Amino acid sequence: MPVQSQRAKWNYVLKTAVLWAFGMSAFIYLFQWVTGQVSERYPSMSLALVSILMGIMAGAIVIFPIGIMAGLLFWRKKFDKQGARGK
C-alpha cells in the first residue's frame, strides 16, 4: 500500500473514530438524562451546558480507542466494496 494511501486510510480512520466517539458519548449522556440518571442542578444555564460538554468530552476520550476499531472496520468494509467493484 503506497504512503499516500496509508495516510488517507489513517485520516479516514481517525476522523471516523472522533465522530463515532463523540456521537456515542452524546447518545449515552442523552440516554442517562432521559432516564433520569443525571440529577445535577446548577444555578445557571452556562454551568449546566459546560457540565454537559465536559461529560461528553470525557466520555469521548474513554470511548476513542473503540472508535478507532470501528473506523478500521468501516475502512475495511469500504475497501472491500471498492475492490469488488474493480474486479
Considering the domain boundaries, does residue 1 fall inside one? no
* DSSP output for 22-72: HHHHHHHHHHHHHTT------SSHHHHHHHHHHHHHHHHHHHHHHHHHHHH
Instruction: Residue 45: give the domain boundaries.
Output: 12-82
CA separation for the pair 76, 84 (Å, rounded): 12
pLDDT in tens, the chain (87 residues): 566 688 888 999 999 999 999 999 999 988 888 888 777 777 888 888 888 889 899 999 999 999 999 999 999 888 777 766 655
Residue with cell 459546560: 50
Considering the domain boundaries, does residue 67 fall inside one? yes
Considering the domain boundaries, does residue 37 fall inside one? yes
Considering the domain boundaries, does residue 75 fall inside one? yes
Considering the domain boundaries, does residue 64 fall inside one? yes
CA separation for the pair 33, 41 (Å, rounded): 12
pLDDT value of position 3: 63
Considering the domain boundaries, does residue 65 fall inside one? yes
pLDDT value of position 34: 84
Considering the domain boundaries, does residue 31 fall inside one? yes
Domains contained in the chain, number: 1
